Structure 1
Amino acid sequence: MDNSMEERLLSPEELNSSDLKRRVWNESKKLWVIAFPGMVARVSSFGMIIVTQLFMGHISELDLAAYGLQQSILLRFVDGILIGMSSATETLCGQAYGAGHYHMMGVYLQRSWIIDGVTATILLPLFIFTTPILRLIGQEENIAIEAGKISIWLIPVLYSYVFSLTIQMYLQAQQKNKIVGCFSAFSFLVHVLLSWLFVIKLGLGLTGAMGAFSISSWLLVIGEFVYIFGGWCPNTWKGFTKAAFADMLPLIKLSISSGVMICLELWYSSILVLLAGYMKNATIAISAFSICLNINGWEFMVCLGFLGSSCVRISNELGMGNAKAAKFSIKVALGTSIIIGIIFWVLCMVFSREISYLFTSSEEIAESVSRLHVLLAFSMLLNSIFPVLTGVAVGAGVQSMVAFVNLGSYYVIGLPVGILLGYVAHLQVTGLWIGLLSGVGVQTLLLSYLTWRIDWNEQVNKASERLGRFFIGTTEGSDENSNLA
């Protein structure tokens, strides 16, 4: 029996101190191989949103508020749906890779394009009719008009997400996410250059900032297409196939449960931004709250690297039938992510004032951001825990259970607390953020309990059943695997 097989059969408790250190080191290397490129990809992709906000803040306070409203509500709303639905691809591709069903990964990817593309088209009216929708819910007229201009520019970005999110999860499941990290970093650098050129040098204002965002988003997708179609995924991409249109209902169900899980999480902060728009001096409130959310979100993108790595490691091990290895991977991923969270907590506590001036030259907005720094720091700390636990749920395919956890944590506890403290106790934006933090805290506790209670041997059996239900053979000449003309 080789060492790797022996390690999978032993639990951490059965190993001596030396063996445990070696196993932690080996698992850490596996996690970082997946996590680091994932971090680069997530930070770069989210960084394009942040860079656009940075340039908006130096155009005008109105543009900053309007973009903050659009980015924090509309873009986060649809992004939550597409990320959530795409996580079904992550579950199936990860388990298929672990089981050696490589050819099925390309089929899952094509099915996810169909499902996510239809979903994006259904959501399109939200971008077209943004201004009347914001008027209807009582947002300030000048912000609603400016946000409507921005939303039209976000339509190309919407459709880029259909491909970029699913391709990232497809490549990540087969541990090819280094290429995603490289493409994402390159598109981020291009975005910074284009934003500077269009906004600062050419003075194109809103048009320049949003144009740079659209171009950079699609540059990433084009690079990923070239990589897949160019033959760099020979085992998992066999060309377009009619099988992508078959047996869609089970995948739709898993996509919906995945979408609900992530949406309830991302929409929560979007609703709080919307509530900030009803406060006194709405422009300042929305700007400050959205800046803090984006600082929190950028750190969250780092933690999402561990969400992705824990998902891949769990799904791969379940696909191979290794329940003990899956449990050990959770412990290593969680410990590593918490250490990173503590580092960001310290940085936020020390440099809160300096960070705010990256986004705005307004003293009033900077002061409002600075007042939230303690709450922001603890939000960053919790960011290092619950994404890993969410990744465990995605890897195991128990998204529906997490959806109920998110529903109770955010909308039964967090949102009412935020409204009560923000409006009744007159704590304004601080009250809203306390509500956000309380919801995340409860979610973290419940996810910890859920992870502790999971029967991993049972999850191995479920993974095997799921893969068997979706499996399609690779017989040459079969209609299911024939390329489309």
Structure 2
Amino acid sequence: MHAGTYARWLIPSIFPHGILQCQIGFLQTQKFLNPLIISTSFRSLIHVLACWLLVFRFEFGNEGAALSIAISYWINVLIFSAYIKLSPSCKMTWNGFSREGLRNLFSSVSLAIPSALMVCLEMWSYEILVLMSGFLPNPKLETSMMSISRPVSSLNTSSVIFRIPYGFGSAVSTRVSNELGAGKHRAAQVAARVVLFLAVVEGLLVGLVSIAVRDVWGYLYTTKGEVVRYMSAIMPVLVLSNYMDGIQGVLSVAAALLLLAVLIVLAVRTTIVTWITVLVLLAFAGNRRRVLVKNGRRITLDVAMHLATVFTKERGIAAVAACVTVASLIAMASLRKLV
């Protein structure tokens, strides 16, 4: 009931969020980072104040928390609108609204709809996991763990960790697009490789820190010892998940430049699809049967090798099989302790 009420009060934040993403993209492509940092920092302060006033001062409860998000988004939209309109830096790139903006509307929409569906499917998959966790033997514990660990809200473990590679991806997206627009394909490839290296190093460092603090990390969200111990137990698997998620998030931007990027993203998708099926069976089949795990490993390996064969024939890359197989086996090895 409370979740439904909170979701309804989140509806007003959809409209400013859409406008805000367009403004952020407009400024990022021109490397106007200082306005983004300053405005976002100011919005964060306003959000804390608005949330406190609506939740505690005016006693709106969950509705006030949801409404404060819309307020902070609109403030950010107004700040960006004023900057784009009044700043001399944007005079050459923003001349107001025009019918010329509708000239390539069909091609833009044809690209936007699949992109939106891709994001929706990704987020819906996490929501489905939360719903499924409610059918497990201890639904309160499982649901609490899902809300803390997986990206079903903006302040949990995976969402906080993903902000770093997400920033890398945004940066390389701007850099690559600028280099390609200037006809510098070699520079675009170098930028993609650099951000891949940064993502790998960042993932390893964050993973080591997460493992080191796994026994106390749960106390940031709850004081219940059972939830904290459960969080500590699944942290190694969560670290691997976040590591792969961060790398494929960065590589998705550079996939057009590096065939290796396409292969790793493909390997991650292959592993996710097969292991979601296997783990659902493990969770709801009654007992955790090792035969299911063996079948899951075999299916993952077969699918990965089939895709590697296809890519090898089509692209002539002999290292594809190793890339796909290693990525799949890493995920399988990490989940071995769960059974």
Q: Which residue of 1 aligns with 2:282?
A: 421
Q: Deviations over 1:315-334 (max 9, x none)?
A: 11111112211111111111
Indicate if the aligned counterparts of 2:248 and 2:268 stay in contact, CA closer than 8 A.
Answer: no
- CA offsets, 1:10-62, max 9 Å, x none? xxxxxxxxxxxxxxxxxxxxxxxxxxxxxxxxxxxxxxxxxxxxxxxxxxxxx
Q: 1:229 aligns with which of 77, 85, 88?
A: 85
Q: Deviations over 1:371-415 (max 9, x none)?
A: 21111122232234112111113x76x9xx89x949953763242
Q: What letter is aligned with 2:253? A: G
Stretches of 4+ moved more than 6 A in 1?
A: none
Structure 2 match to 1:371? 233
Query: What is aligned with 1:361?
Result: 223
Query: Are residues 1:286 and 2:143 paired?
Result: yes
SS at match of 1:392: coil
Deviation at 1:349, TM superposition (A): 0.5
The RMSD of aligned alpha carbons is 3.4
Change (3 A) 1:224 1:410: farther
Aligned 8 A contact 2:176 2:191 in 1 = yes
* Partner Cα separation in structure 2 for residue 313 and residue 417 of structure 1: 39
Q: Which whole-Å deviations, capped at 9, do the CAs of 1:107-127 have from their partners, x for residues lacking one?
A: xxxxxxxxxxxxxxxxxxxxx
For the residue of structure 2 that corresponds to 1:306, the secondary structure is helix
Q: CA deviation at 1:251?
A: 0.8
The CA distance in 2 between the partners of 1:239 and 1:197, in whole Å, is 36
Matched ranges for 1:295-374 at <5 A: 295-374=157-236
Give the match for residue 158 of structure 1.
Answer: 14
Matched residue type, 2:225: E
Matches within 5 A, 1:84-163: 145-163=1-19
Alignment of 1:465-480 (within 5 A): none
CA-to-partner distance for each residue in 1:92-137, whole Å, 9 max, x for gaps?
Answer: xxxxxxxxxxxxxxxxxxxxxxxxxxxxxxxxxxxxxxxxxxxxxx
Q: 1:271 aligns with which of 114, 128, 144?
A: 128
In 2 relative to 1, CA 354–201 (structure 1 residues): closer, same or farther, beyond 3 Å? Answer: farther
Amino acid at match of 1:192: V
**Paired AA for residue 286 in structure 1:** T
Contact 2:169-2:250 at 8 Å conserved across structures: yes
| Aligned equivalents of 2:267, 2:78: Cα separation in 1 | 34
Structure 1 position 416, deviation (Å): 0.7
Three-state SS of the structure 1 residue aligned to 2:68 is helix
* Larger CA deviation: 216-225 vs 329-338: 216-225
Contact 2:12/2:67, CA 8 A, preserved across alignment:
no
Are the counterparts in 2 of residues 154 and 210 from structure 1 also a CA contact under 8 Å? Answer: yes
Equivalent position amino acid for 2:90 in 1: C
Which structure 2 segments of 5+ residues have no match?
Answer: 151-155, 317-339
Q: C-alpha offsets along residues 155-185 of structure 1, whole Å, 9 cap, x if unaligned?
A: 1111122111121112111111331222112
Shift of residue 359 of structure 1?
1.5
Greater RCO, CA 8 A, separation 6+: 1
TM-score, normalised to structure 2's length? 0.75
User: Secondary structure of 1:181's match?
Assistant: helix
**CA deviations over 1:211-236 (Å, ceiling 9, x no partner):** 32222222222211111122441111
Q: How does 1:382-401 map to 2 (within 5 A)?
A: 382-393=244-255
Q: CA deviation at 1:288?
A: 1.2
Distance 2:123 2:109 in 1: 20
Q: Which residue of 2 aligns with 1:457?
A: none
Change (3 A) 1:339 1:216: same
Return the alpha-carbon distance in structure 2 between the equivalents of residues 251 and 407 of structure 1.
28
- CA 1:217/1:417 → structure 2, altered by over 3 Å: closer, same or farther? farther
Residues 9-48 of structure 1 aligned to structure 2 (within 5 Å): none
CA distance in structure 2 between the partners assigned to 1:366 and 1:236 by the alignment = 51
- Measured in 2, the distance between the counterparts of 1:306 and 1:243 equals 32
Give me the whole-angstrom Cα distance separating, in 1, the residues matched to 2:20 and 2:286: 43
1:206 alignment partner in structure 2: 62
**Retained in 1: the 8 A contact 2:199–2:246?**
yes
CA shift in 2, pair 1:353/1:194, >3 Å: farther
Q: Percent of aligned pairs with the same residue?
A: 29
Deviation, 1:206, is 1.6
Contact kept in structure 2, 1:157 and 1:213, CA below 8 Å: yes
Q: How far apart, CA to CA, are the structure 1 residues paired with 2:140 and 2:277? A: 23
Alpha-carbon spacing, 1:418–1:160, altered in 2? closer, same or farther (3 Å):
farther
| Whole-Å separation in 1 of the counterparts to 2:75 and 2:121 | 30
Q: 1:411 to 1:372 in 2, by over 3 A?
A: closer
TM-score, structure 1 normalization: 0.54
CA deviations on 1:177-210 (whole Å, 9 max, x unpaired) are 3312221122122222333444456654323322
Distance 1:384 1:148 in 2: 30
